[in-house]
Amino acid sequence: MTRTRLSLFDTTLRDGQQTQGVDFSGDDKRKIALALDALGLDYVEGGWPGANPTDSEFFANAPVLKHATFTAFGMTKRAGRSAANDDVLAEVANAGTPAVCLVGKSYDFHVETALGITLDENVANISESIAHLVGLGREALFDAEHFFDGYKANPDYALRCLDAAMEAGARWVVLCDTNGGTLPDEIAEITGAVARRLPGDRLGIHTHNDTETAVAGALAAVDAGARQIQGTLNGLGERCGNANLVSIIPTLLLKEPWASRYEVSVPKDRLPGLSGLSRMLDELLNRAPDRHAPYVGAAAFAHKAGLHASAIIKDPTTYEHIPPEAVGNERVIPMSNQAGRSNLLRRLSEAGISAEKSDPRLSRLLQDVKDKEDRGFSYDSAEASFQLLARAHLGLRRKFFDVERFRVTVERRHNAMKNLVTVSEAVVVVNVDGSRFISASESLDEAGSDQGPVNALSKALSKDLGKYDAAIADMRLVDFKVRILSAGTEAITRVLLESCDGEGRRWTTVGVSANIVDASFQALIDAIDFKLHRDTDR
Ligand SMILES: CC(=O)SCCNC(=O)CCNC(=O)[C@H](O)C(C)(C)COP(=O)(O)OP(=O)(O)OC[C@H]1O[C@@H](n2cnc3c(N)ncnc32)[C@H](O)[C@@H]1OP(=O)(O)O
Ligand SMILES: CC(=O)C(=O)O
């Protein structure tokens, strides 16, 4: 069967940049554009030249893409001037990209209310803007803003706008569900109606995730005749985001009937790079990756329940829709109160700890995990603390250091500049091989900002561990989560700490106590202990 070619258009650097809280630097943009190109996307939209200095500079020093068509974004010209004399359009065209995508109105309400011009003027603006770009030798794309809402209100006018773009030479006209409120069945119905008028591969789809159906809407549009999908990495985008290409790409390559019906520019053998690409974007944005993201999330192949884990060990296809390696992810069998011996054995083997299934210590370990989870511990998240607990039960836990005592004080005082500051001070006394080390630290960073009591404790604890100083020198805390839980009639605090080392490895530890500082200290000790076990066992 001949497969139909779909075009993949990435707008992470434009619509993704419209996400609240996302602010790419020029360097971020370059890294992302090159990574998208390496994955094999057809188009990389870099932003809006002229809209802000970062985008202008990015286009002035454009990355050299090997495969993708580098695309600038802009809007149709304003009424009352020619396309050649519109300064906003001129900046977009002057970026010199091989392709330009222009957004334009296709909803009569928007033309009259947002632009305040006549319906005919808007059609002329679309037509003249696209013709201008084509005259400059550029490939032109037309993003028909609010197309679905416009079609429902006035189908003749919405179609007239598309026709104007097509007749002026647009390579693609893209139906945009700008407000994200159209559900997949309606997207399919309207896209189908348009596709019957515009056969061939010139119709695209651009969905937003306001009803959490952006991916489903994009796929429904393809089924109905759209041949280009616009989307973003990790579903970034205005408000609730755009269609997530990190979900769409593996669906098109691995799922039936999509894989047999359609062909995309991303080769299947590059899919294992997808999880890394998704995490790289989060890293650039300094965001914790979504653990539950389909395909690429750390929990996307985590099998928590005992029944699942037991079957997975016999055959992974029992509880997995695809092999995790296909998208560069990995299987995880977490430990928790939902676990049985199968989870336990699998988890131990992944940690490089061997044990016989009949070993009676395993039952005691399993019971201890369940008892501790009942008291608020969470070994499902805190894999490193689980490994230390398992080592303790199996007689494999080494004693690197002993904490004799610690003290933390929190003080609000005036500093030398007469400003009120809150400062925490911590003192920790540890024993290493019979030698006693006393360390003190305070919570102010180099800029004089208070980083809190746990930071002071962490610095004091890692300040002097004698012969282990070098082994923990590259360690840092990257995430700190606190949750108040109830255990019986008491409120207790659970602290989850995520640590990282110079090689980029991350691990999570847990502490539970009625006292937040004590809970944090337990998690800190586990974090250091885990690193020492791992690095000194290598
Ligand atoms: C659906 C989408 O997501 S489209 C992408 C939207 N992205 C962005 O807006 C991000 C980048 N935008 C910007 O930096 C700025 O809005 C700029 C530089 C483009 C324009 O800035 P300003 O000239 O100050 O205008 P402002 O942002 O206040 O308003 C937009 C103007 O564009 C006009 N406009 C909006 N869409 C169109 C269109 N398709 N064609 C022509 N004009 C349009 C509006 O009517 C408004 O003009 P008015 O104030 O004279 O009514
Ligand atoms: C063009 C665009 O981003 C939209 O209509 O949503």
Mean pLDDT of 276-297: 91
CA of 75 to the centre of ligand 1 (A): 7
Probe target for ligand 1 pocket from 75, 208, 236, 242, with the most ligand atoms within 8 Å of CB: 75
Q: Is the pLDDT of residue 405 over 90?
A: yes
Q: How confident is the model at residue 271 (pLDDT cuts 50, 70, 90)?
A: very high
Do 409 and 331 belong to one domain?
A: no
Q: How confident is the model at residue 310 (pLDDT cuts 50, 70, 90)?
A: confident
Mean pLDDT of 217-237: 98
418 to each of 409, 421, 442, 443, how far by Cα in Å? 21, 9, 19, 18
Q: What is the pLDDT of residue 537?
A: 59
CA of 45 to the centre of ligand 2 (A): 12
What is the pTM (predicted TM-score) of this model? 0.79
Mean pLDDT of 351-360: 88
Nearest CA to ligand 1 atom 4: 103
Ligand 2 within 6 A of CB of 143: yes
Share of the chain above pLDDT 70, in %: 99
- Among the bound ligands, name the one nearest to the CA of residue 17: 1
Do 348 and 417 belong to one domain?
A: no
Domain endpoint, select from 332, 359, 393: 393
Q: Is the pLDDT of residue 304 over 90?
A: no
> Does 149 fall in a domain?
yes
Do 421 and 453 belong to one domain?
A: yes
Closest CA to 195 of 166, 221, 213: 221
Do 109 and 230 belong to one domain?
A: yes
Cβ-contact 232, 198 below 8 angstroms: no
Least confident of 46-60, 80-94, 360-374, 473-487: 473-487
CATH of the domain at 65: 3.20.20.70
| One-letter-per-residue 3-state SS of 449-496 | CECCHHHHHHHHHHHCCHHHHHHHCCCEEEEEEEEEEEECCEEEEEEE
Do 40 and 169 belong to one domain?
A: yes
> Does 292 fall in a domain?
no
The model's pLDDT over 181-190, given as tens digits with 9 standing for 90+, comes to 999 999 999 9
Mean pLDDT of 400-421: 90
Do 252 and 322 belong to one domain?
A: no
> Does 369 fall in a domain?
yes
Domain endpoint, select from 370, 393, 416: 393
| Residue 423 structural domain | 402-537
Do 255 and 147 belong to one domain?
A: yes
Nearest CA to ligand 1 atom 24: 51
Do 372 and 443 belong to one domain?
A: no
Do 413 and 311 belong to one domain?
A: no
> Does 298 fall in a domain?
no
Cβ-contact 281, 274 below 8 angstroms: no
> Does 137 fall in a domain?
yes
Mean pLDDT of 501-523: 93
Do 80 and 116 belong to one domain?
A: yes
Do 77 and 100 belong to one domain?
A: yes
Q: Is the pLDDT of residue 538 over 60?
A: no
Complex ipTM > 0.90: yes
**What's the residue count for the chain?**
538
**Phi and psi (nearest 5°) for 67?**
-120, -50
User: For residue 178, which atom of ligand 1 is closest to its CA?
Assistant: 1
Q: Is the pLDDT of residue 256 over 90?
A: yes
Q: How many domains does the chain have?
A: 3
Cβ-contact 403, 526 below 8 angstroms: no
> Does 19 fall in a domain?
yes
- Among the bound ligands, name the one nearest to the CA of residue 232: 2
Do 423 and 389 belong to one domain?
A: no
> Does 285 fall in a domain?
no
> Does 28 fall in a domain?
yes
- Among the bound ligands, name the one nearest to the CA of residue 230: 2
The model's pLDDT over 80-124, given as tens digits with 9 standing for 90+, comes to 999 999 999 999 999 999 999 999 999 999 999 999 999 999 999
User: What number of CA atoms fall less than 13 Å from residue 19's CA on the CB side?
Assistant: 23
Nearest CA to ligand 1 atom 13: 51
Alpha-carbon gap, residue 421 to 418, rounded angstroms: 9
